Structure 1
């Protein structure tokens, strides 16, 4: 596909883009605001005589992953200004909560020259750091025209994404070739990028998400909370089902009903993947007739509570700290799985469905180290959970293996900063 065709099609589809924002606004009113930023109009301004580095982190997951990198950039380059763009209100909120006024922030403009040019003219970034798989043809092309150095950091490319990109090979190949640097997570990612483009400047640095730090006080807080949830002085066995997608809640609830017949004191923490599905999942729980409370309403977990609905943003690490076993969603449907790193960092025994293509490298490591068990249906999910909670030492040992894999993979942050140093030093 030629870029002109892509751009023309994007202009035609622009009304649908804003219609989608309105649809999302039905679940999160923040989508109704700051549309001017999405059109490239900036309300904030860069600081005069201070070089600016631009980092793009699309949503909550990428913002979380970028935190160690952003903090190190702030510390190691005190004379630069950092602009962070996101595309979602949840990513924006998390960024401002974590870093506040230490960085500039606005939404990423849509990938049209009419929107990107005024954005670039206003901010005048010296370099752009894109996270994971954010390949926007017009954005990258205009940065190249203006001499703005571009790096794709923590880059990953699933087999499915590679196949989709190959359908539009000329456009994506040109965009990848225009990048100044690609820092891939794994060798498999590098090979997939090379199938699209024979770009030479690809280094393997590991996965930045392994370098996230869990707050030291979290363990003590979670222990106290779990004591409060105890029944007859015994801590309740707890399963967290995180990042669940449409259709998976029914499977999880079917499994949990079976679990309750054997372990009636068990607690389920259910965390849907997307904010706009919170009300839908709440309705599913109401239909199930299983007693539940909502985290967003700050309702207390009593001895009669069977499910805690995690309908909040930015609390997933906290909720993981309250569990013994984690089932990671997006895996019992054909989605490709979700992030396995956060529960690994908290030494949880891990369960997942078979669809893991988005995280193939880390899932293979976890499976090979007997830290992750793959389940295919409600029956297997129930049986595996009951097996784990029956023997606390076995459950803890499996969780320790997950943590060992997590720790073994740390170090990407230093590797990425070392590779970025020449690029940043040459432009500031």
Structure 2
């Protein structure tokens, strides 16, 4: 991504929002949810740390349906978020998946919006359908080490030439993809020529060949077909300039076949009303699907003015016309009617699906029409000849019988390329509930650990009144040990350190709630425990906006039963060699998982009664790429031992640590010796 691109995308924002406003005159949904377009919305805590799937519009959403269903089945406890750019795709997402997935609009590709988006959603991995790549989006994912897979990827000659021409503007975006699953060999070669590494790309076929018709859709279609008992022709995904030709053709069909029913389904919802007006002025007796009424014998047209029912209409129809093809729109996906065993008619303009239509034509499994008259002839021929319909159905089925399997192949790619999803298959963030006792206060708590929760749980006075305070740990501040079931809890308030702490005891600069001190530590601990790392279990976290400036924070974590920190242990006795090695191995396990500990010292290392090592206090910590910080962590730990030894000698108290004896043992454990 270049500086010119970043500047240009910002300058374009007023024009983009003006476009949405103007588009909203016919489709009011374009004027809604504008906060999401700039990532200004609130994302539920239990939607974070999941899988992000981006389908720009309806076609990509329909193609990805079976893959998304497979992901929901494979990772039942992993939050899945489906993003799109259009209201029709948003509505379809709700129709197909309900509350099983979160839906949101992908923000416009400005640096600030994408930074906020990834801060709030924090996905584990990103799946992009077809070719919807954005430079700022990819840059943020790369910086955060979030793998990005481009699935069902296609690259036309025209798009290939455009990306080559504007490479100076968008920068090296293709090198930032972790995996590309291409639809065709030609697309695969184009992606590699653009910069995708050859070992990060493969031919996987087209998800659209795996179109699956749900059993309930087939059952409904069969029932309606029997109830209506008339010839049905569906004209699907139609555009302005096509409807007039379709209705002229239908007038000719009615002269020969008066009982015929046309199901007319415009591509875009903002055209539903104008197509209804076209039917009225044309003298057609019609009923709208949105009315909830079924067509009666005197109705000639059913206006399909709902979303998510196109497969039903294809399954119900005797003949299907696939729109966007009588005008130079490029056509739409013919594999959906093929999946429902419905003969296909198309206009001549099918460059969006050129290869598929060519195969249908070679197999004599499609009819092309260039005019309303030719369209009427083809429809009449098929509506009145069951044998011909069966011939086209069978030819289409035979042609694509060997092309299925892309869904299974891409699902395997996801599992292979992103093994961390296996570890996160039971995301603990799914168990997080959000509580807002007041406008200024936000609490995250584990609903699997608390039946109910109160803001009072973050005050020591509340627990003292209950007689539950068992003790306290002192340092920069006091942390309280609280008796609880099934494990005791530790309550810690966040305080400032250093010189700043002398004038500002506990306020921090205002930031996004998800990035605030307590929430960030809470979320990090959940992620580390999913990886089976030796860290305490987080229970709840609180963010309280302070008056005028800043915020305060608190966290509740489970007490590690029978554990003592190494500082206290060394005040009592010398550690055994195996104990030092266990501590070193625990640090190495953290480092191997890319976990940076900002304050690794002898107070934050613990050993329990069973000899297991634990690491605590993950404030201001996080994931990092391998680097010099690992050795810096160890150096900081060594300094802490030396510091405490010096303080003990000055105070004339025991501290059973000798660098020459003990430090090599810890390093041996770290190195796996």
TM over 0.5: yes
Q: Does 1:228 align with 2:227?
A: yes
Shift of 1:167: 3.1
Shift of 1:111: 0.5
Q: Which residue of 1 aligns with 2:300?
A: 306
Structural mapping, 1:347-362, within 5 Å: 347-362=341-356
Work out which of the residue numbers 350, 354, 379 in structure 1 matches 2:373.
Answer: 379
Q: Which residue of 1 aligns with 2:630?
A: none
Shift of 1:112: 0.5
Answer yes or no: is the 8 Å Cα contact 1:173–1:196 preserved in 2. no
Shift of 1:168: 1.4
Q: Which residue of 1 aligns with 2:87?
A: 89
Higher helix share: 1
Answer yes or no: is the 8 Å Cα contact 1:186–1:361 preserved in 2. no
Shift of 1:406: 4.4
Structural mapping, 1:197-212, within 5 Å: 197=195, 199-200=197-198, 201-212=200-211
Secondary structure in 2 aligned to 1:240? strand
Secondary structure in 1 aligned to 2:155? coil
Q: Which residue of 2 aligns with 1:28?
A: 27
Uncovered stretches (5+) of structure 2, i.e. residues with no partner: 424-673
Q: Which residue of 2 aligns with 1:120?
A: 118
Query: Mean Cα displacement is larger for which, 381-390 or 338-347?
Result: 381-390
The structure-2 alpha-carbon separation of the partners of 1:258 and 1:96, relative to structure 1 and needing over 3 Å to count, comes to closer
Structural mapping, 1:6-17, within 5 Å: 6-17=5-16
Residues 187-216 of structure 1 deviation map (CA, whole Å, 9 limit, x = unaligned): 132233345446422211111123232122
Work out which of the residue numbers 147, 161, 167 in structure 1 matches 2:159.
Answer: 161
The structure-2 alpha-carbon separation of the partners of 1:329 and 1:163, relative to structure 1 and needing over 3 Å to count, comes to farther
Q: Does 1:318 align with 2:312?
A: yes
Structure 1: distance between partners of 2:411 and 2:240: 38
Structure 2: distance between partners of 1:40 and 1:51: 16
Structure 1: distance between partners of 2:243 and 2:326: 10
Structure 1: distance between partners of 2:288 and 2:157: 37
Secondary structure in 2 aligned to 1:336? coil
Structure 2: distance between partners of 1:405 and 1:185: 17
Secondary structure in 2 aligned to 1:408? coil
Greater relative contact order structure (CA < 8 Å, 6+ sep): 1
Structure 2: distance between partners of 1:124 and 1:286: 50
Residues 298-356 of structure 1 deviation map (CA, whole Å, 9 limit, x = unaligned): 23312222211111111101111221111111111112110111100011111111211
Residues 219-277 of structure 1 deviation map (CA, whole Å, 9 limit, x = unaligned): 332233223323xxxxx222111111111111111211222222222221111111111
Structural mapping, 1:32-181, within 5 Å: 32-47=31-46, 51-78=49-76, 80-171=78-169, 174-181=172-179
Answer yes or no: is the 8 Å Cα contact 1:84–1:106 preserved in 2. yes
Q: Does 1:393 align with 2:392?
A: no
Structure 2: distance between partners of 1:300 and 1:115: 45
CA RMSD of aligned residues (A): 2.2
The structure-2 alpha-carbon separation of the partners of 1:73 and 1:226, relative to structure 1 and needing over 3 Å to count, comes to closer
Q: Which residue of 1 aligns with 2:396?
A: 402
Query: Mean Cα displacement is larger for which, 242-251 or 385-394?
Result: 385-394
Q: Does 1:340 align with 2:339?
A: no
Secondary structure in 2 aligned to 1:135? coil
Structural mapping, 1:256-267, within 5 Å: 256-267=250-261
Shift of 1:172: 5.2
Structure 2: distance between partners of 1:225 and 1:275: 24
Answer yes or no: is the 8 Å Cα contact 1:128–1:151 preserved in 2. yes
Structure 1: distance between partners of 2:3 and 2:350: 35
Structure 2: distance between partners of 1:225 and 1:79: 37
The structure-2 alpha-carbon separation of the partners of 1:364 and 1:36, relative to structure 1 and needing over 3 Å to count, comes to same
Structural mapping, 1:242-261, within 5 Å: 242-261=236-255
Residues 338-394 of structure 1 deviation map (CA, whole Å, 9 limit, x = unaligned): 011110001111111121111122212211211112221112111111221232111
Work out which of the residue numbers 276, 279, 284 in structure 2 matches 1:285.
Answer: 279
Structure 1: distance between partners of 2:217 and 2:125: 36
Query: Mean Cα displacement is larger for which, 401-410 or 336-345?
Result: 401-410
The structure-2 alpha-carbon separation of the partners of 1:384 and 1:228, relative to structure 1 and needing over 3 Å to count, comes to same
Q: Which residue of 2 aligns with 1:187?
A: 185
Answer yes or no: is the 8 Å Cα contact 1:184–1:190 preserved in 2. yes
Structure 2: distance between partners of 1:52 and 1:86: 17
Residues 87-124 of structure 1 deviation map (CA, whole Å, 9 limit, x = unaligned): 22332233234333333332211100010001112222
Q: Which residue of 2 aligns with 1:419?
A: 413
Structure 2: distance between partners of 1:123 and 1:87: 17
Secondary structure in 1 aligned to 2:149? strand
Answer yes or no: is the 8 Å Cα contact 1:173–1:197 preserved in 2. no
Secondary structure in 2 aligned to 1:304? coil
Secondary structure in 2 aligned to 1:327? strand
Uncovered stretches (5+) of structure 1, i.e. residues with no partner: 231-235
Answer yes or no: is the 8 Å Cα contact 2:141–2:147 preserved in 1. yes
